[in-house]
Structure 1
Amino acid sequence: MAQADLRLSERPTLRSPVLITAFRGWNDGGQAATVAAGYLVEQWDATRFADVDPEAFMDFQAVRPTVTLDEGLSRRIEWPENAFYHAAIPGTDRDAVILVGVEPNYRWRAFTDLVIGLARDVGVDLVVTLGALLADVPHTRPAPVTGAATDPALVEELGLQLSRYEGPTGIVGVLHDACRTAGLRSVSLWSAVPHYVSLAPSPRAAKALCVRLSDLLGAPIDMTDLDEAETEYASQVSEAVASDPDTQAYVEELEQRADTIESFAEGGELPTGESLAAELTRFLREQEHRRKDDPPADQP
């Protein structure tokens, strides 16, 4: 690990910690993954203990720092960051390390080596990566979540599936594979976000990730705030959809498709990883065509 790139304010002593990660950017449709991770930081009263120096990993023209006013007087620069927090997981005898940040622009292998190095230093025995993709799903139904693992034993233990996705990937996929190479158990959870509201933060998809994570860890997570945000989100999107007949007809078609899938699945099982991977592939192809056909201002 390049110690100069990792800024450690303390080295916490943790109990069988699990590392939970989420990154803004390509892996974060509707900001669902980072909203979920940020929610855990707040709910579990997590303490920040380390961060990654962005200088070596970020293109500041692509991910620009921001200027804020400190108490309305002095100006302060806030740099894009990847920060580590630790917290006790309520209702369990283990702790969490939560990494919330931004997909780096450079040196992905060095970045993942740094993350895995810190994970090993604090005794992490399981890594859970959170992601969100844009798909043909309606905002009026629960957000589908799929879970995958690269370790067959972990697949069987947690009732997940082996990942069969092939195609472009982001830092989540690279980190997931780096864990496999390093012999560190890892799980990847992905929620699906309606592509027609891709720019709005999706508390519904964030909640779905938290619910699946709660099941995986066997730990209760208070969803009260996310429940309220989800209700407001659904109401606002429904109001916007109702103002456009074409969009409303399209959403109704998606609802019928979702209801049909649910009616054929015992207990309302969620779509498989393969189906969501196919959605991701389809979306990427559509985006590629759109970039070729549309002017830059119309790109998502």
Structure 2
Amino acid sequence: MPLSGPLYERVASAPPVPAGLPLVIALTGFTDAGGAVSRMIDLFRDDLDPSPVVVFSADVLLDYRARRPAVTFDGDHLVDYRPPRLELSLAHDTLGQPFVLLAGYEPDFAWDAFADTVVGLAEGLQVSSVTWVHAIPMPVPHTRPIGTTVSGNRAELTEAHSVWKPHTQVPATMGHLLELRLSESGHTTAGFVLLVPHYLADTDYPASALAGLDSVSVATGLVFDGDEIREENRDYLAKVDDQVEGNAELTTMLHTLEERYDAYMAGSTQAQPIIHTGDLPSADELAAELERFLADRRDGDDKRGRR
């Protein structure tokens, strides 16, 4: 699709952005297992009150028919049309530390032009590092910490925090392209792939957002208040555990996942790869077993609305 207008606009009233800040990238799109990135964006926008510096054009970058904006029907008229947002902003963490935030929808169009623009903006701001997060479903148990696969050019992060180091081809996201282009231009980069239990991937799993925030903190030193999400996660896990305990098949499945996870993490020569398609139930089968729980979660999400 050819460009139909300017890719972005600078905000005239934007505050000055100091040089040398970390850049954090959070884009929703192709994969967002557990709603990790969506919830992180909600926290960034609601709690940190970022000040937009650059606003990207949805008319140029977004396929509206694939990801339709929300509009509210109020009795007999329409109100509150909310187009998706993609912005580069100046934000401050819980301790007041400043950072640059690129957050919002993943572009559908003009990938090369968008990537070139972000690289140019990063160079102009002289960002000190680039960190991005996304989440994929994996056959791992929810009773263990969420692991990560770490990419980029920060060997110390990969060595310390990458629990699974595959050699494979995957469908690219804009985050991947930005990491490549920013690395090629000499920036310090780190990408964190959150490995979310596949039977919870279609829900809003609070622990996935917490793992994403922790990953950003590890890479940048930024601090975020996740107390509300932690409380939600305790309630969420209690409901999941109730479902598992009342179902022998789910209990067996969970124990199998735990054994394989523990063997893999221990470095056992008998360990199975984390990705294992043997006798594990499919994601659809597990989702069916948890249907009542998941339906309750989705109903609650619909009432709250999603940003």
Where on the TM-score scale, by shorter chain, does this alignment land: which range? 0.7 to 0.9
State which drifts further: 238-247 or 24-33.
Answer: 238-247
Pairwise CA distance, 1:6: 0.9
Give 1:62's aligned amino acid: A
Q: Name the SS of the counterpart of 2:6 in structure 1.
A: helix
Q: Give the 3 Å change call, closer, same or farther, for CA 166–200 of structure 1 in structure 2.
A: same
1:175 maps to: 178
TM-score w.r.t. structure 2 length? 0.75
Bigger proportion of residues as helix: 1
2:60 maps to: 56
Q: Name the SS of the counterpart of 1:4 in structure 2.
A: coil
Q: Name the SS of the counterpart of 2:25 in structure 1.
A: strand
Matched, 1:106 2:79: no
Pairwise CA distance, 1:117: 2.1
* Kept after mapping to 2: 8 A contact 1:28/1:133: yes
Deviations 1:111-157 (A, max 9, x none): 211222222232323111111110011122221123221x3xx3248
1:67 maps to: 71
* Kept after mapping to 1: 8 A contact 2:6/2:60: no
Q: Name the SS of the counterpart of 1:33 in structure 2.
A: helix
Pairwise CA distance, 1:69: 5.6
1:298 maps to: none
1:249 equivalent among 249, 252, 272: 252
Q: State the percentage of identical aligned residues.
A: 23
Q: Name the SS of the counterpart of 1:100 in structure 2.
A: strand
Deviations 1:180-204 (A, max 9, x none): 2222221101211111122111210
TM-score w.r.t. structure 1 length? 0.77
State which drifts further: 77-86 or 200-209.
Answer: 77-86
Give 1:14's aligned amino acid: P
Q: Give the 3 Å change call, closer, same or farther, for CA 257–74 of structure 1 in structure 2.
A: same
Matched, 1:189 2:201: no
Q: Give the 3 Å change call, closer, same or farther, for CA 223–27 of structure 1 in structure 2.
A: same
* Kept after mapping to 2: 8 A contact 1:16/1:95: no
Give 2:21's aligned amino acid: P
Measure the CA separation in 1 of the matches of 2:193 and 2:122. Answer: 21
Alignment of 1:215-294 (within 5 A): 215-264=218-267, 279=275
Deviations 1:48-104 (A, max 9, x none): 33321011121111111211268x975232222212221234558x52111221222
Give 2:82's aligned amino acid: E
Q: Give the 3 Å change call, closer, same or farther, for CA 15–159 of structure 1 in structure 2.
A: farther
1:155 maps to: 155
Q: Give the 3 Å change call, closer, same or farther, for CA 231–138 of structure 1 in structure 2.
A: same
Deviations 1:169-228 (A, max 9, x none): 211111111112222221101211111122111210111121232222233333311211
| Structure 1 unmatched runs, 5+ | 266-274, 291-300
